Structure 1
Amino acid sequence: MRSRMLLLGAAALLSSPWLPGSALAAEQPGTISKPLTAQAPPALTLEQAVALAYAHNPALRVAEQGMAIADGARTQAALLPNPALSVLREGAQRTNRTQTIQITQPLELGGKRAARIAVAEQDHALAAGEWQIKAAALRADVTAAYLAAVTAQQRAGLAQSAVELAHQASAAATRRVAAGKISPLDETRAQVAASTARLEMAQAQADLAGAKRRLAALWGGQVPVEQTLSEPAADGVVLPPLETLLAQLDHAPQIQQARAQITRGEAQVQFERAQRLPDAAVTFGSKRDQATGSTQAVAGLSIGLPLFNRNQGNVLSALRRVEQAASQLEADRLALAEAVSDAWQRAQVAQTCIDAMRTDMLPAAQRALDAAVTGFELGKFNFLDVLDAQRTLSQARARYLDALSERYRATADLQRLAALPEKRNTR
């Protein structure tokens, strides 16, 4: 009777609620949850991880510096050209020497300054768009790395439960062998199962450390995250219909950046056209005759003659760049639509697997394990049947975690590609 209670307790331990949002775990009465220590640091949430990455990620800081550079260029573009001061002395003798002092102010004609400012404004908009793209990509990367670490954390928890179950099952087999109720071969199998469980737990813990290290690297950390990770709801964000996502692609950061590139090219065309008209320069000054002491005012106007160079080559290049940017926009839209459709499909398939495993596979595997334990105690099954049932339940939960991880990755891709809203599923 005591060995039966040990096996049933071990089976309950394997069914403890490690999986986030699992209806199966919630329905199991008397399950054993992971003990909490009073001095344990608070769990790290996804939003805290994103905030750390936004504050310390080097790539995002590069994008911020790009905006600062574009802001300086915008300030420079609005400045007027400086005047020039010149002093001209003619003659070596005092009796015939003259001295002319004049100031020349260049005048930009044809709207050059306004066109230059418009180009600088578009450069700043492109820099801001680049920051938005990198911020969206960083958030998606942090989300993917965080959820990968959460999955590894869940695997480590399951591996720990499997080790405890294997040890208790091995102890029960040893007692039954001593009582002469089962063959020593069953005891050997139980010991092998316990050794295998320990190896799997060591691998799961190593995978967890690696996942936490990759997560910390996104905000410049050199060591793995020491905190436990808060497990989000298994359903993740609500996925809109694919048609809705495709209809909203014009609001995606990549498409907005491609449109900004077209606008910048059009501003460059206007700037190059303004360059066709030469600038003028006005001169004011005075000329003093040293011999007579008389002074004369000096005024002048100069303007270039656009006989050969009318900037036609640069205008043509700017027009072709606009056409190139428009073609790139179409190519980006097609590639983005394909990537969004693929990520959406992967998320839907993974969610279907998750729902099926919750409602059918996991409960069935749990019932099979319970039946195997009961039959083993009644002498209807051998210990190999119990091990097979344990293995089946472990594999089912591993497949559940695989589907959950795929759902996380697909959702992160959609957040990066289509700026998926952060609305959570409440079902």
Structure 2
Amino acid sequence: MRRLLVPLACAALFSVPVLAATGDAPTSARPAEPPIPNARIAAAGASASAVSGLTLSAAIETALGQNPTLRAFGHELDASDGAVRQAGLIPNPSLSLSAEDTRKDTRTTSMTLSQTIELGGKRSARVALAERERDLAALDLETQRAEVRAATIQAFFDVLIAQERVEVARESLEIAGSGASAVSRRVTAGKVSPVEETRARVAESAARIELRQAQADQRAALQALIAVMGAAPDSIARVDGSADAMPAFPEGAALGDRLERAPALRRARMDVQRAEAAFQLERARGVPDVTVGLGAQRAPDMGRTQPLISVSIPIPLFDRNQGAQMQAMRKREAAAALAQAQAQRLRAEVLQAVDQLEARADEVEALRRDVLPGARGAYEAARRGFELGKFGFLDVLDAQRTWLQARGQYVNALSQAHRLAADIDRRLGGPDPQSGALPARTTSDRP
């Protein structure tokens, strides 16, 4: 047996480097890399204690560092590095031992070391496919970052709008309370009917109910913001910002450039590249591999060790992997069609959202400039006229209701504008890199 092992060991030493050198090599040589930690998500943590004045930039920074879904996508990207490394490995050699006859005097022993040599570019095709899948994982992470960022912006402005509604409801309650007190004094003086006081008290109770509902909505909005940020429960008490700061919308060439860089569109195009890499791999698999064997045989009657050399190659008579090649080719064509559809759909959706945002911006400006001052002036005139005995309380209630409805419409228009801006931001993959910050259109003094 020792006489068999010596030549076999020598054959192994000389054959494996040669096979590694002659085997398929990746198109771009990649050195062995150490395990990469999950450091692709910028760590930006916020304090677990309650924050009384959270800014938008701090909320976005915390969400990008602590959102658990985003961390999961980062781990998926790290895992794809292992797939690329595995795809570049060559097949392991195999060692076989066989014995003919069980009697020692007549037994023939053979030992063979075999190595499969991949032909047709299989190894480089596998690496190319694994790299495209890693690129897809990177784009998935980028898309999720845009999702988290947009969700954070929307949740932040939902809290701002909720805080604004609380202020409006609180002011409404103060107005209703002062009106009820004024009516009560006039009833005591005998100038109006007690029915007017009942109406005033009903209006005050309705304003108090609206305030409680607005406070409950504010707490719900805070919890939604905490959830998307990945922060500790009850860690945020209030956010700091202006709901009146209208977000800007991309226009012209800037919009076209951002559409081309949108993560969803880039991912659709990367799907086409991945399908092309899969097709090339199936074509390479249609080329048969060669298995080379080198070993030794010892026969007692011969009295010496004989070398064994073998070459094995399949004959591609029936199976040339033609079915898998057709499947991969059709999937490539389907991916190209889906990428085209994604580009058309994304452009239509973004343009529609931009048009709606422009309409909301015009609505906000009209309400701020014309409707709110007029409604406020009408209410003040009706209130003074009632105190002087020129108008009835129903006139005051009607003017107050008109003014409060206008303020509610103004707040709703602001809320819809910020939601549309967050949706555009999500589809385009974040803010314009040339601006460096969240763009905003600032209105004049608040009404």
Q: TM-score, normalised by structure 1?
A: 0.85
* 2:256 maps to 1:240: no
Alignment of 1:112-131 (within 5 A): 112-131=122-141
Q: Once the 2 structures are TM-superposed, how far is the Cα of residue 212 of structure 1 from its aligned partner? A: 2.2
Q: Once the 2 structures are TM-superposed, how far is the Cα of residue 203 of structure 1 from its aligned partner? A: 1.4
Give yes or no for contact 2:87–2:126 (8 Å, CA) kept in 1: yes
Q: Structure 2 regions of 5+ residues with no counterpart?
A: 1-48, 433-437
**3-state DSSP class of the match of 2:351?**
helix
* 2:71 maps to 1:61: yes
**3-state DSSP class of the match of 1:54?**
helix
Q: Once the 2 structures are TM-superposed, how far is the Cα of residue 99 of structure 1 from its aligned partner? A: 1.7
Q: 2:223 aligns with which of 207, 210, 213?
A: 213
Q: 1:169 aligns with which of 162, 179, 192?
A: 179
Q: 2:157 aligns with which of 144, 147, 153?
A: 147
* 2:116 maps to 1:100: no
Q: TM-score, normalised by structure 2?
A: 0.81
**3-state DSSP class of the match of 1:96?**
coil
Q: 1:415: which partner in 2?
A: 425
Give yes or no for contact 2:52–2:236 (8 Å, CA) kept in 1: no
Give yes or no for contact 2:50–2:236 (8 Å, CA) kept in 1: no
Q: Write out per-residue CA displacement over residues 133-171 of structure 1, whole angstroms, 9 at most, x where no aligned residue.
A: 222122222222222222122111111111122222222
Give yes or no for contact 2:382–2:391 (8 Å, CA) kept in 1: yes
Give the stretch that moved more between structures: 73-82 or 56-65. 56-65
Q: 2:80: which partner in 1?
A: 70
Shift of the 129–173 alpha-carbon distance from structure 1 to 2, 3 Å rule, reads same
Q: Give, in whole Å, the separation in 1 of the partners of 2:234 and 2:163.
A: 13
What's the C-alpha RMSD, in Å, of the aligned pairs? 2.2
* 2:440 maps to 1:424: yes
Q: Which amino acid aligns with 1:83?
A: P
Q: Once the 2 structures are TM-superposed, how far is the Cα of residue 192 of structure 1 from its aligned partner? A: 1.3
**3-state DSSP class of the match of 1:102?**
strand
Give the stretch that moved more between structures: 298-307 or 223-232. 223-232
Give the stretch that moved more between structures: 369-378 or 120-129. 369-378
Give the stretch that moved more between structures: 328-337 or 169-178. 169-178
**3-state DSSP class of the match of 2:102?**
coil
* 2:206 maps to 1:190: no
Shift of the 374–361 alpha-carbon distance from structure 1 to 2, 3 Å rule, reads same
Q: 1:276: which partner in 2?
A: 286
Q: Once the 2 structures are TM-superposed, how far is the Cα of residue 290 of structure 1 from its aligned partner? A: 3.8
Give yes or no for contact 2:176–2:204 (8 Å, CA) kept in 1: yes
Give the stretch that moved more between structures: 382-391 or 122-131. 382-391
**3-state DSSP class of the match of 2:173?**
helix
Q: Which amino acid aligns with 1:103?
A: L
Alignment of 1:289-328 (within 5 A): 289-291=299-301, 293-328=303-338
Alignment of 1:18-37 (within 5 A): none
Q: Give, in whole Å, the separation in 1 of the partners of 2:197 and 2:90.
A: 91
Give the stretch that moved more between structures: 64-73 or 118-127. 64-73
Q: 2:275 aligns with which of 265, 273, 276?
A: 265
Q: Once the 2 structures are TM-superposed, how far is the Cα of residue 113 of structure 1 from its aligned partner? A: 0.3
Alignment of 1:328-407 (within 5 A): 328-407=338-417
Give yes or no for contact 2:133–2:274 (8 Å, CA) kept in 1: yes
Give yes or no for contact 1:166–1:193 (8 Å, CA) kept in 2: yes
Give yes or no for contact 2:136–2:271 (8 Å, CA) kept in 1: yes
Q: Once the 2 structures are TM-superposed, how far is the Cα of residue 317 of structure 1 from its aligned partner? A: 1.1
**3-state DSSP class of the match of 1:299?**
strand
How many residue pairs align between the two structures? 389
Q: 2:166: which partner in 1?
A: 156
Q: Which amino acid aligns with 2:175?
A: L
Give yes or no for contact 1:210–1:224 (8 Å, CA) kept in 2: no
